[in-house]
Amino acid sequence: MKASWTYVDGLPGLNSQLDSWLLGILDAAAAPSGARYRPAMALNAANSQNAALTVSAEPVQAGGTVVAVRQKVSETGSDGTRTVSSAIIYADTVFGEVHRAAELLRPEAKGRILAQASGVPASISGSFAQGPTLDDVVLTSSGDLQVTTERPAGRGQSGREDTTTIAAADTLATLSELGHKILHQLQAPAAPPPATAPALRHINCDLIPCAALSYDDGPDPKTTPRLLAILKEKNVQATFFMTGSNAIAAPATARQVAEAGHAVGNHTFSHPYLTKLTPAAIRSEIDRTDAAIRTATGSAPSIMRPPYGAADAAVQSAVGKPLIIWAIDSLDWQSKNPAVFVPKVLKEITPGAVVLMHDIDATTIAGQQELITNLQAQGYRLVTVPQIFDGTPLLSGHVYRSRPERK
C-alpha cells in the first residue's frame, strides 16, 4: 500500500477529516490481520513491493477563501483489474467549514449533470444502483464544473475515470445555496489560512511512525546552535526543555531555538529535585523559569519536565503544567559517547516515544547526525512534543512519556 496526503495549516476541520478518512482505509486494510492499523505497520514501508492499494489526498484548487482537496483510492485486484474512486472536499479558509462536492449541487439537478458527464440519459441515470456518482466535482471561479465520473471495472477490464467540463452557463442553475456561496468565495480576494508555527503544525502520529527528540538543560551558546544547524539540515523539529538560569545567561540562544520553530519547555530554574522542595518553592522554580523564557523568546512554555524525572503527587499538583517525562533515556550524559547512546536509542525506539538527551554536551551533539539519519531511514518522522501528542489533551499535573495507542 502507498499513501500520500497534504495537510493545510490553519484548517483543523479539514485535517481532521483527512485523518478520519485515511485511518478508515488503513483499518480496513489491516482488518485481515485481526488488528487495527498501527503506525508501526508503516516502518520500512518504502521497501514494500505491495502497491495493490494507493491512497492520496492533495489540494487541486485554491481560490479566494476556498481550498478543494481530492481524495483518491486506486486498488488493483489479484487478477490485475484496477478500480479507482475519487471525491472532492471543500474547506472554507475563514470559518473552517468542510463540505463534500455533492452538497454544492441541487438534488434535483444531479441526474442532468450525470447525463452530461457520463452520457447516460437523465431519465435513467438515477436508476443504476452502482452507476456514476457526483463525488468528484471541481467548481471553478468562473462557474464551470469539472465532473469526474468513475467507470466501473468489467470482467477482465480496469475501471477508469472520465472528466467532463460543463460551462457556467449550463451549471449556475444546478448549484445549491451552498454551491453559490462557494462560488462567491472562490471569486473573493484570497484569504489564506492563518500561519501555524512549525512546532504546532498538524501531524497525526496515529498514521505515521513518530518520535520526539527532546533536549534538556540548555540553552548553551556553544553547543545548542550546532544542534540547531543539524536539525535544520535534517528537517527535524524537536523540543528543548530549558532551565531558567541558562535562559537568562543565553537569551539570544533561547530566542534562536524558538525562532527556528522548535518547541520550548520549562525545566525549572536551578535544576533541583522537586520532590525535596515545598509547594511554594516548586512554584517559584516554575514561575521564575517561565519569566526567563518569556523574556528571551516572547512566550512562556506550556509544558515542563522535572529534573531527573522526579515527580510525586505533590510535584504534579504544584507545577501547574503537563509533565513530559520520557519513554527512552539515551543516558548520553553518562556515557558521553555516541557509539554507546546512539545504538541504545535505535534499539529501544518505538512509534510515539519521547527521547531524552541533553544539548549542553558536545558529545551529544556529535551523535545527532548519525542518530537522526538512522531514525529517518527506519521511517520515523521526528516531531515536537506538542506534535506527537496532537489530538491527545495534555492535562495539568499529569505525566506523559509517549503517545497513547489509538483506542
Q: Which among 135, 136, 206, 216 is annotated as catalytic?
A: 216
Q: Which DSSP category does 46 fall into? A: G
Scored b (16 or more CB within 10 A) or e, 169-205 reads eebeebbbeebebbbebbeeeeeebeeeeebebbbbb
Phi and psi at 99, nearest 5°, equal -135, 150
| 142 burial level (CB within 10 Å; 0-12, 13-18, 19+) | exposed
Catalytic, 358? Answer yes
C-beta atoms surrounding 364 within 10 Å: 24
117 close to 132: Cβ distance less than 8 angstroms: yes
CA dihedral over 212, 217, 337, 229, signed as positive or negative: positive
Grid cell, residue 172, equals 449556475
Catalytic, 184? Answer no
C-beta atoms surrounding 405 within 10 Å: 12
* Amino acid identity for residue 97 in this structure: E
- Helix (H) or strand (E) segment spanning residue 279: helix 279-297
Angstrom distance (rounded) from CA 117 to CA 144: 13
Q: Which among 135, 290, 358, 361 is annotated as catalytic?
A: 358
Measured CA to CA in angstroms, residue 312 lies from 130, 281, 306, 309 at distances of: 61, 15, 10, 10
- Coil/strand/helix, residue 186: helix
Active-site residue list: 216, 358
